[in-house]
Structure 1
Amino acid sequence: MPKVNSYAPAWLCRPSPGASLFTSTSVKSPAEGLQNEKNISGTNGPTRTIAKRGHEVFAVVDNEIRWSNLARLKDQWEQQSKQKKAAAGQAKETTDGSDIPSYRVLAVPVYGLIKQILPSPNGAFLAIVTEHTVHISVLPDASHLSSTDSSPIRLKTYQLGPTTHVIPEAPVVSALWHPLGLHTNLNGCIVTVTADSAVRVWELDRNNHWSFDQPTLAVDLKKLIDGTSSDQDFAPSKFSNNKGFSADIIDMEASSACFAGNGDEREDAWAPMTLWVAMRPGDLYALCPLLPAKWQAPSTTIPSLSAANGPKLAALQECGEDQEEQLAAARQQFDWLREIDNQVSLGPSSGAVVGADVYSRPINPSAVPRLQGPFRFDSGDEADDLDLCDILVIAPRLNVEDLMEGEDEQLAVEITEQDKLSATVICLSSTNGRVHVCLELDGVEGQWLPKTTKASTFEAPWSGPSDMVLVESLDTLKTGEASSTAWPTFTKDVLSRYSFFVTTPTNVVSFSMSAWAQRLEAELQSEDASGSEFRLGVICDGEFIKRQRILQVSETDVTAQKEHLAASLLFYDYDLGYLLITYHPSNPYAAIMDAPEESFSAAMELYENKSPVPGSNPLPPRRAPYQVPAVLYAKSPLDSFVEKHVPHRQRQTLKEHVRMSPATLDLVTTAHRVLSAHTNALERAASDLFRRCERLQGEMKDQLRQLSDVAERIKGVTSEIDEDGNRQEGVRDSKALDNRVQAARDRQDQLVQRYEALRKKVLNSGGRPLSEKEKSWVAEVNTLSESFDDKPSKEEEEENQRMAQRLDMVKRLAFDLMAETKSIAAKVPSPTEPGSPASPSSQPRVPHRLQRAKVADAMRMVERESAVIDAITTRLERLNTSL
């Protein structure tokens, strides 16, 4: 779990320049914002209004996109702090660095409320998503944005699908940059998912404006789920067509989507081309493979798919008609891979990343995959409709057993250790603030519907529900905080694949399941199934996932803003450290955390050198620093009261004497309503500051009490009691104290050595119960060891002679067998000769896993017999020496 060192740094708090990046410049106060809450908030949906590109950050404030460089803001604040200290109250001119604006405004022709911003993987484009529209902006280079000019920069912007993503159509729920798409300064690939379960793949090209108008692949999941042939039309209904009504409109209302992988070489090959779609009632569906017309594959993708498909297809062919559906799916994968193998890779010159090959999407079996699902889990006593919000999928590790056969074993071990779990982890969030963590153990592979001409060969696989294993359901909101406007969103951790953050309207919570995943993977890969049920019960007993609250919004901001926190953003580098940042329109919220290694070393140092005082907290409580509420520095609503609330024809009457009339009464009532809301916000801000001051006094008293307790303990250590019972302070010298500390450290080292010895002993034993053969072998060895004494009897000497004769006979037989094997091998022709018995064409095809299992059994048998022979030989030599 990450350890929070401190909260919002000084360079992000007022009056530093960094605070203005996330602060609203609107003249209206938070009280006026409450009156227009319905007009501002719109419908529910994810709030991903903060994104990054290296050290650069993009944030949406007042519906305008702001850009800044956090590393530059930090350096600028440090320079200003040094100048203030050096000046020591004297007037001094600032350097050129202070003239650089804290942020730049990126002007884009977007008129709706911006809900999401998503930079492309290479940082060349920025996807801007509103409730119904999607825009693609071309981002300038960082050097161009870092100039001293503070005027807004107008970006070149294209509207994606002007006739597709429009207000009468379904709203956009997710926009995803394809992890296997070609992303260059001119090209990009983005996938959009709308609430009516329509998935569209857009392959963007700045030289071809038509690519922004029509998608290259469009699929309606409501049609695809009932499809029986790949030749059917699964395209979504066009604009303004009468779509009618069906039950799928409610059951298949999409809420979020994500790809299972990000194109890493160490993850499962099918993961980056698998799109998971979460429906609001609770069902999940998977599209695999979903690819653009031109896509890039990591170096391990095609070899791993080929290595897995070949043995599986051979094994299914031997089964015959028992596995007809699986055999048809394996043949489809074989045809799909064969078409890829026949292609000539376009190479890195086409815009692929280093080490990736570029391919064209195979035509056969089909460009549209089969819809797999629904995937469901048992939620217990909860209602049937889970009202899902967001989804996060953690891909399984790469199967290196088949891929690395005959290769460097060290590389295979490194890949396996980094990607631990071989099952798919699916995390889901709902509007009530609950996070569900599930396991999908069967895996998702590429599947397609059959062709019309081949429909008689095999039927389309039945798309029945698949059960997932519910690991745990946890709450992220306190009792009473859940609301209908809550939309918890996931943020991946940059340090661990099995850790993530959840952003709710009022807090940010960290979840970690790294330790649990490691234990579960060790059990899933165990060859001995005896006792597996008991060990799985121990692993699954208790708390699987560690949970920790990282940030909490102040009560003042919660009551004044009533807005959702933006999805968290993570940085991990030398300049910024391990930084988590999010914001409200009034204040930024940040937390500086320790990396897991640093946290562990700090905890060990505290345990060894700083023993806590019993009954007290060794570390002071940490909380976010006090930030001035926005209402205290916002402009008064009375400054613009006349322009907003008084009609133009009545403004002249304000300069005259007050007349008792209905118009005057309405004006006074409106002024009272606006002023009372503003004063109420001021009272809440002032009362919050008063409560903080009182709490600070109480904490200071507790700290002073702890300091006095520590002082008494120090006096007890450095003093002695004489014969009369009086304490003499300062009697013990530093040498005695050093000896005491050294003795404690020596005891600690001894405990660590004992622990390491026990751990190695357990690891050498295998950590599993012995089999029947192993038990019999141990009993035989014990019996044999007991038969050898210092002075054997005549019967024992005769038995030893018989055993020596048996040993000689075994050696002679082994020598004869080796000679016979060499003579037979010399007579057999080479395997490469045509027609030879050892040629691949004449031998039956045996799966690699079966071959390895048989070879492993034979090697274990040989090692066991060799150990017995060595033990007997040693005993006989010792007996002859003693005689």
Structure 2
Amino acid sequence: MPKVISYTPPWLSRPSPGASLFSSTAPKDGSPRSSKDVEYTGPSRTLARRGNEVFTVVDNQIRWSSLTRLKDDWQQRARSKTSASQKTDSDSAAPYRTLSVPVYEQIRQLIPSPNGAFLAIVADHTVFIAVLPDSSHLSAADQAAIRVKTYQLGPTTHVIPESPVVSALWHPLGVYSNVGGCLVTITEDAAVRVWELDRNNHWSFDRPTVAIDLRKLVDGSSSDQDFAPSGFGKNKGFSADFVDMEVASARFGGIGSEKEDAWAAMTLWIAMKPGDLYALCPLLPSKWRAPSAAVPSLSAAVIPKMSALEEDPLDYEDQLTACRQQYEWLAEIDNQEPLQIVPGSATEPESEILTRPANLSAIPKLQGPFRVDTSDEVDDLDLCDILVVAAKADTDALMMGEDDELAIDSGDDKSSATLICLSSRDGRVYICLALEGVEGQWLPKSRKNALQVPGSEPSDLLLVEALDIVRKEHQSVDTWPMFTPDAHSRYSFFVTTSHSVVFISLSSWIQRLEGELQSEDTAGSDFRLQILCEGNASVLEPIIRVDEDANPSSNQPFHLPASLVYHDYDLGYFLLTSHASHSYAAVLEKPDFFPSFSLESDAQATNSPTIPPHRPPYQVPSILYSDSPLEFFVDKHVPHRYRSSLKEPVLLSPATLDLVAAAHRILSAHTNALERAASDLFRRCERLQGELRDQLGQVSDVADRIKGVSSEIGEDGQRKEGSRSGASLDRRMEAAKDRQTQLVQRYETIRNKVLKSGGRPLSEKESSWFSEVEALSESFAKERKEGDVQQISQRLEAVKEIATDMLTEAKSAAARVSLATDPGSPASPSSAQPRVPQRLQRAKIADAMKMVERESAVIESITTRLARLNTIV
């Protein structure tokens, strides 16, 4: 769990120049919110990062800045004592660059490409691809706006009358360079398009290479059907799927790493607003990047599975057909030569550039729906966003029969099941597990005179936990929770809501769950898994909370954009978000330095004085430093024909009344915002005074206690004679020592009991002895129930007689053997017979004696038990 070290740093707060990065330059005229901003409910990802750089949208303009540069400039300015003129010159330069792009709709999302060469700009209905300049070019001294090269993606596809774009994802297995890349767009009407961009081919920005209408594909029965979305302006008719398949968000199942399941990065998960989930696997561009272990791991999983299914093909006909399709698809990949081999680096392993197989359709089968059973009366979950964490690679199956170990380290932070997290409009997060996973599937080819029915059946996801992350006073229809992956753990993430940023971690629970799933000793596994699933799986911690009253002058609907997470040597572990000319950030403690809590530290924390709440620093509302709205009143609200009358004496007329009423409305809204900002500052000052008063009282109490203790101590460090508090202090010290001794004894007692109850597994000898004792006890218990005490005593006497006879026979046998070994005895063999060596004879005798002693010990033990049982009876 990350600990908040501090909130918004000073180099992003006023009066630092870095605060102007998020400040709006548009005049505050007091006009009401536009209908476009009020009605929009969807993802807001207006913050993006490239290394230590940040891109943000302010006044529908894209701004760029380097956070490291902002921090360094502020530190240098704080260390150096420059003159007032130098400060004015340095502060006048804007700490950001503006990227000029021809986007006229409201920008909703910014998505940088994996290599940082492109920036996808998603508006309400249109998508633009901007070619990003290098950071050195953006860091130049020139502060003028930069007009970047921009391409509109699908001018006849993503247009204003069409369905809005809900998600734009860079394909994790795409081939990226300074010339091209691969982008996948998903619209609200369930249309998926794969764009293979190439700056040398402008047609690649106009037409997608793969276009799929999921509402057609869900009912598809043959790969020969036309699943392309309907063209612009065509009548699409009506279907029940229009409501059930309204897309909320989409996410790829992996990041293209060799440590995860090979199918994951090829799988596109689509979350529908009512609550159903669908999967497309494999969804690939014509040229794709294959990690070094992807194809071998797929072959190692598909070939044994097909061999097992072919033994009983009638019962597993559907599975065998899908497995044969996978085999044909992999066979074509194995037979082709790589187009290019990408060398590995410190962060990325070596990979190959391959072409998509042509023997099967480029459009896979739509798998699903996958559903979440929440046991609620309401069927529609009204989903917002989805986060998928891929299962780990099966290295055991890949290296089966190999002597060398694979150099892939799965680590402890991995799970053999796919984790799916969903967020809903009511402020809930659903954490689910897909235990079976998703594999590649295709629709069969059409056959004549054959009735084909789609074989997709709904399946349920395992709901692990449902969390409420939004306060009741902040629950509204405008809430759209969004996920941001953590920089340290795959199973930790941040959730940004309208007024807060929350951290959720599943790392500890996943490790315990995977330990039970992979354990070879299954004794008690069902019970432990039930306890794991019934308990709390996640750890939730609020990181940032923002009050809407902090920005009373904002004309935008209050909703924080999706937060960014930085982990760098210069910035540390840094969380950033913003809204309405303000930045909200938190400096977090790195997981490597998380404190380890113990009973002693908890006890000390319990007895420590009350610590005041750690809240973000005060942000000055923008209304206090904004321009007066009356400065632009004449230009925006007074008709041109009436402007000349403003210089004349005031006449009592309806036009003058309307003019005064309009000015009053604007001025009253401005003064109301000023009053709210001032009252908020007044309340904060009063609260600060109260907290300071409480702190001073606590400090005074501690000082009195210290003074009382120190007054009884002399200069030599010993307590003065006759001190009144000496006896009480000694008693308290002795009581504390006794309490510590009792706690240690209790701990050792519990520890010994746990070790005795099941500290180690039983050996085979102990297990057999335990079974023999149980069988004997059951026999005796049966006879005691029947009341046959006489039979027990007879059996005991019979056992004693048998033991005596066996001892007598053993002694006589030993005597005969000793006589036989004496050469002078009459029983000694003649010289004509073969002579047994004495060493062998002694060894045989020793073995016989040991056997006799062992049998005697067993008999004595049984005799003792029988006597004790007889006494009990």
Bucket of the pairwise TM-score, normalised by the shorter protein: 0.7 to 0.9
Matched, 1:636 2:628: yes
Question: Does the residue aligned with 1:162 lie in a helix, a strand or coil?
Answer: coil
Q: 1:262 and 1:727, CA in 2 relative to 1: closer, same or farther beyond 3 A?
A: same
- Partner residue, 1:441: 435
1:67-106 alignment to 2 at 5 Å?
A: 67-84=64-81, 93=86, 101-106=94-99
Matched, 1:687 2:682: no
- Partner residue, 2:519: 526
Deviations 1:271-309 (A, max 9, x none): 001000111111110000000000001111111111111
Deviations 1:716-771 (A, max 9, x none): 76547777552479x99xxxx9x9999999999999999999999999626xxx79
- Partner residue, 1:116: 109
Amino acid at match of 1:425: L
- Partner residue, 2:19: 19
Deviations 1:655-686 (A, max 9, x none): 11110111101011111111111111111111
- Partner residue, 2:480: 487
Question: Does the residue aligned with 2:470 lie in a helix, a strand or coil?
Answer: coil
- Partner residue, 1:396: 391
- Partner residue, 2:58: 61
Matched, 1:705 2:697: yes
> Are the equivalent residues in 2 in contact too, given 1:613–1:710 (CA < 8 A)?
no
- Partner residue, 1:475: 468
Give 1:423's match in structure 2, choosing from 399, 417, 426: 417
Question: Does the residue aligned with 2:189 lie in a helix, a strand or coil?
Answer: coil
Question: Does the residue aligned with 1:517 lie in a helix, a strand or coil?
Answer: helix
> Are the equivalent residues in 2 in contact too, given 1:506–1:558 (CA < 8 A)?
no
Q: 1:761 and 1:361, CA in 2 relative to 1: closer, same or farther beyond 3 A?
A: farther
Question: Does the residue aligned with 2:412 lie in a helix, a strand or coil?
Answer: helix
Question: Does the residue aligned with 1:445 lie in a helix, a strand or coil?
Answer: coil
Name whichever of 741-750 and 425-434 sits farther off.
741-750
1:227-376 alignment to 2 at 5 Å?
A: 227-348=220-341, 354-376=349-371
1:625-774 alignment to 2 at 5 Å?
A: 625-712=617-704, 714=706, 719=712, 724=722, 726-727=724-725, 765=760
Cα shift at 1:714? 4.2
> Are the equivalent residues in 1 in contact too, given 2:107–2:122 (CA < 8 A)?
yes
Cα shift at 1:316? 0.5
Distance in 2 between the 1:656 and 1:795 partners? 140
Amino acid at match of 1:564: H
Amino acid at match of 2:566: F
Cα shift at 1:505? 1.1
> Percent identity between the aligned chains?
56
**Unaligned segments of structure 1, at least 5 residues:** 784-792, 802-871
> Are the equivalent residues in 2 in contact too, given 1:127–1:137 (CA < 8 A)?
yes
Matched, 1:565 2:560: yes
> Are the equivalent residues in 1 in contact too, given 2:128–2:152 (CA < 8 A)?
yes
Amino acid at match of 1:189: C
1:533-552 alignment to 2 at 5 Å?
A: 533-552=526-545
Matched, 1:576 2:571: yes
Amino acid at match of 1:154: R
Give 1:133's match in structure 2, choosing from 126, 139, 144: 126
1:857-868 alignment to 2 at 5 Å?
A: none
Distance in 2 between the 1:877 and 1:706 partners? 81
Distance in 2 between the 1:170 and 1:587 partners? 32
Distance in 1 between the 2:677 and 2:618 partners? 11
Question: Does the residue aligned with 2:315 lie in a helix, a strand or coil?
Answer: helix
Q: 1:394 and 1:711, CA in 2 relative to 1: closer, same or farther beyond 3 A?
A: same
Distance in 2 between the 1:662 and 1:275 partners? 63
> Are the equivalent residues in 2 in contact too, given 1:76–1:97 (CA < 8 A)?
no
Amino acid at match of 2:567: Y
Deviations 1:188-212 (A, max 9, x none): 0000000110000000001111100
Amino acid at match of 2:394: N
Distance in 1 between the 2:23 and 2:809 partners? 93
Distance in 2 between the 1:625 and 1:686 partners? 16
Amino acid at match of 1:368: I
Give 2:144's match in structure 1, choosing from 135, 142, 151: 151
Q: TM-score, normalised by structure 1?
A: 0.82
Distance in 2 between the 1:723 and 1:547 partners? 54
Q: 1:101 and 1:751, CA in 2 relative to 1: closer, same or farther beyond 3 A?
A: farther
1:488-527 alignment to 2 at 5 Å?
A: 488-527=481-520
Q: TM-score, normalised by structure 2?
A: 0.83
> Are the equivalent residues in 2 in contact too, given 1:556–1:629 (CA < 8 A)?
no
Q: 1:622 and 1:68, CA in 2 relative to 1: closer, same or farther beyond 3 A?
A: same
> Are the equivalent residues in 2 in contact too, given 1:348–1:356 (CA < 8 A)?
yes
Amino acid at match of 1:367: A
Cα shift at 1:187? 1.3
Question: Does the residue aligned with 1:313 lie in a helix, a strand or coil?
Answer: helix
Give 2:193's match in structure 1, choosing from 190, 200, 205: 200
Q: 1:762 and 1:95, CA in 2 relative to 1: closer, same or farther beyond 3 A?
A: farther
Q: 1:877 and 1:259, CA in 2 relative to 1: closer, same or farther beyond 3 A?
A: farther
Q: 1:690 and 1:698, CA in 2 relative to 1: closer, same or farther beyond 3 A?
A: same
Question: Does the residue aligned with 1:257 lie in a helix, a strand or coil?
Answer: strand
Give 1:218's match in structure 2, choosing from 211, 214, 234: 211
Question: Does the residue aligned with 1:348 lie in a helix, a strand or coil?
Answer: strand
> Are the equivalent residues in 2 in contact too, given 1:261–1:267 (CA < 8 A)?
yes
Deviations 1:766-803 (A, max 9, x none): 6xxx79997326567999xxxxxxxxx988989999xx
Q: 1:471 and 1:354, CA in 2 relative to 1: closer, same or farther beyond 3 A?
A: closer
**Unaligned segments of structure 2, at least 5 residues:** 714-718, 776-802, 812-846, 858-873
- Partner residue, 1:52: 49
Question: Does the residue aligned with 1:611 lie in a helix, a strand or coil?
Answer: helix
Cα shift at 1:40? 3.3
Amino acid at match of 1:640: F
1:584-663 alignment to 2 at 5 Å?
A: 584-601=579-596, 603=597, 608=601, 611-612=604-605, 614=607, 616-617=609-610, 619-663=611-655
Q: 1:315 and 1:505, CA in 2 relative to 1: closer, same or farther beyond 3 A?
A: same
Deviations 1:446-474 (A, max 9, x none): 00001124996x96652121111111221
Question: Does the residue aligned with 1:549 lie in a helix, a strand or coil?
Answer: strand
Distance in 1 between the 2:12 and 2:754 partners? 47
- Partner residue, 1:5: 5
> Are the equivalent residues in 2 in contact too, given 1:56–1:70 (CA < 8 A)?
yes
Amino acid at match of 2:16: S
Cα shift at 1:371? 0.1
Q: 1:774 and 1:613, CA in 2 relative to 1: closer, same or farther beyond 3 A?
A: closer
Deviations 1:572-623 (A, max 9, x none): 111001110000022100011112332225x56x955992362733x44211
Deviations 1:621-668 (A, max 9, x none): 211000100110111111111111111111111111110111101011
Question: Does the residue aligned with 1:415 lie in a helix, a strand or coil?
Answer: coil
> Are the equivalent residues in 2 in contact too, given 1:198–1:218 (CA < 8 A)?
yes
Distance in 1 between the 2:613 and 2:282 partners? 50
Q: 1:755 and 1:270, CA in 2 relative to 1: closer, same or farther beyond 3 A?
A: farther
**Considering only aligned residues, what root-mean-square deviation do their CA atoms show, in Å?**
3.8
> Are the equivalent residues in 2 in contact too, given 1:404–1:412 (CA < 8 A)?
no
Question: Does the residue aligned with 1:265 lie in a helix, a strand or coil?
Answer: coil
Deviations 1:403-446 (A, max 9, x none): 23355787678414231x21111111111111111111111100
Distance in 1 between the 2:742 and 2:409 partners? 35
- Partner residue, 1:856: none
Cα shift at 1:534? 2.1
Amino acid at match of 1:726: R
Give 2:455's match in structure 1, choosing from 457, 462, 467: 462
Distance in 2 between the 1:231 and 1:799 partners? 90
Which of 1 and 2 has greater Rg?
2
Distance in 1 between the 2:293 and 2:407 partners? 12
